[in-house]
């Protein structure tokens, strides 16, 4: 079982990867990464996975989705 501190670092890492972290949270992740080589490797792997996932997802086109919904409504 993970400790509260371990649970919190994962949340903060997620905030950093999504660009939602504040400066205090960014500093916490930097400090965590510097604690060990393993932490640095984990972060780098998570970062690479995050980048790959985001590059594979096409941007959401709300106008296109709205038009598709309208067509379905009109067809029914």
**pTM over the 0.75 mark:** no
DSSP structure class, residue 19 = T
Q: What's the confidence (pLDDT) of residue 33?
A: 96
20-72: pLDDT as tens digits = 999 999 999 999 999 999 999 999 999 999 988 877 666 777 888 888 887 87
> Cβ of 46: how many Cβ atoms within 10 Å?
15
| CA dist., res. 31 & res. 5, Å (int) | 13
Q: What's the confidence (pLDDT) of residue 6?
A: 76
Q: What's the confidence (pLDDT) of residue 74?
A: 81
10-33: pLDDT as tens digits = 999 999 999 999 999 999 999 999
| CA dist., res. 24 & res. 17, Å (int) | 14
């Amino acid at each position: 079982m993970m400790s509260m501190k371990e649970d919190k670092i994962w949340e903060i890492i997620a905030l950093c990867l999504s660009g939602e972290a504040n400066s205090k949270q960014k500093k916490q992740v930097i400090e965590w990464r510097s604690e060990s080589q393993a932490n640095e490797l984990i972060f780098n792997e998570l970062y690479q996975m995050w980048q790959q996932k985001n590059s594979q997802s096409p941007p959401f086109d709300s106008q296109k989705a709205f038009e598709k919904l309208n067509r379905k409504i009109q067809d029914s």
